[in-house]
Amino acid sequence: MPRVLHVSQPSPPSNAAVAAHYDTLDPIYRDLWGQHVHHGLWTTGRETAAEATENMSRRVLGGLALVPGAHVADIGCGYGGTARIAAEVHGAQVLGLTLSAAQKREADRQPVMRGSVKIRVQDWKEAAFAAGSFDALFALESLEHFADKAGFARMARAAVRPGGRVAVTTWLAADRVAPWARRHLLDAVCREAQVAALVTARELRDMFCAAGFSEVLAEDLSPRVGRTWSVILARLMWRMLTRRDYWSFLIKSRARDRIFALTAVRIRLGYATDCFRYGYFVWQ
């Protein structure tokens, strides 16, 4: 009989573990990424990394059809970079949720010249939004931390008014993944980055349709975002060569989340082998 390979699925991360991950790595994330802790979107290939990450924010917001004064929820808002673009460019009133106290402190330091941005340290499941509270809602690379993605879809359906939109960008698994890639790339990334087991694009689309949404857009952006990790790894290597604090943290520290350096390598390999995907979705 053929040998069956049993691959253990990563355990769902706790809120405390996700918060600790971002709080511990806060100085490194801000140094390597800046105000946008998410993938960049290279549309011409000539963008700087900063331009590419802003491209991604604008792409997500562009799918929401925002008007001045729109009430918007940013679930997993990070340092509030995309929330501030929604406020300043579109005149939106944005409520952002994060689990990280360090992210909120940094977000609260940033001025907003138009619209408004309010950040809370709060789990989305405890927010208890009133029905139809928002004109739009988005989750830019936060949904991967949620084990109950179907529950998130139902919450979003209740929180957004009829006719309102929800935009999501998220890490995904390819439809077909070799057992070695599942074990050493996808599942390892999930454990190291405090991410729940990755789903496929089809699985995620089915969850949102089951929650009562109609699909406006579904797009695989993987070919235009993988470069992010080449940039991050190059920056990380340079910091380790030139900064003692990086060397001390990544090599000598006992902090659990210092494994981030290895995780970045796994994600880059995931894109190179086509087992790691990046999806952009808009639902109404």
Considering the domain delimited by 15-283, tell me its CATH architecture: 3-Layer(aba) Sandwich (3.40)
- How high is the pLDDT of residue 169? 98
**How far is the CA of 263 from the CAs of 157, 220, 260, in angstroms?**
33, 22, 5
Question: What single string gives the DSSP state of each residue in 117-140?
Answer: EEEEE--GGG--PPTT-EEEEEEE
Token pair in block for residue 20? 């600790």
pLDDT band at 1 (very low <50, low <70, confident <90, very high): very low
Strands (E), the chain: 71-75, 93-98, 116-121, 134-140, 160-173, 215-220, 276-283
Q: In whole angstroms, give the CA distance from residue 181 to residue 188.
A: 9
Q: In whole angstroms, give the CA distance from residue 62 to residue 177.
A: 32
Q: Which sequence spans correspond to the domains of the chain?
A: 15-283
Q: What is the pLDDT of residues 29-39, one digit of tens each?
A: 999 999 999 99
Q: What is the pLDDT of residues 197-251, one digit of tens each?
A: 999 999 999 999 999 999 999 999 999 999 999 999 999 999 988 998 888 887 7
Average of pLDDT values for 129-157? 96
- How high is the pLDDT of residue 143? 96
Token pair in block for residue 229? 């990790």
- Give the rounded distance of the alpha carbon of 158 from its chain centre: 22
Strands 160-173 and 276-283, how do they pair?
antiparallel
Q: Which pTM does this prediction carry?
A: 0.92
Write down the mean pLDDT value for the chain: 93
- How high is the pLDDT of residue 9? 59
Of 262 and 83, the structure prediction assigns the larger pLDDT to: 83
CA proximity to 7, closest of 260, 178, 262: 178
Q: What is the pLDDT of residues 76-107, one digit of tens each?
A: 999 999 999 999 999 999 999 999 999 999 99
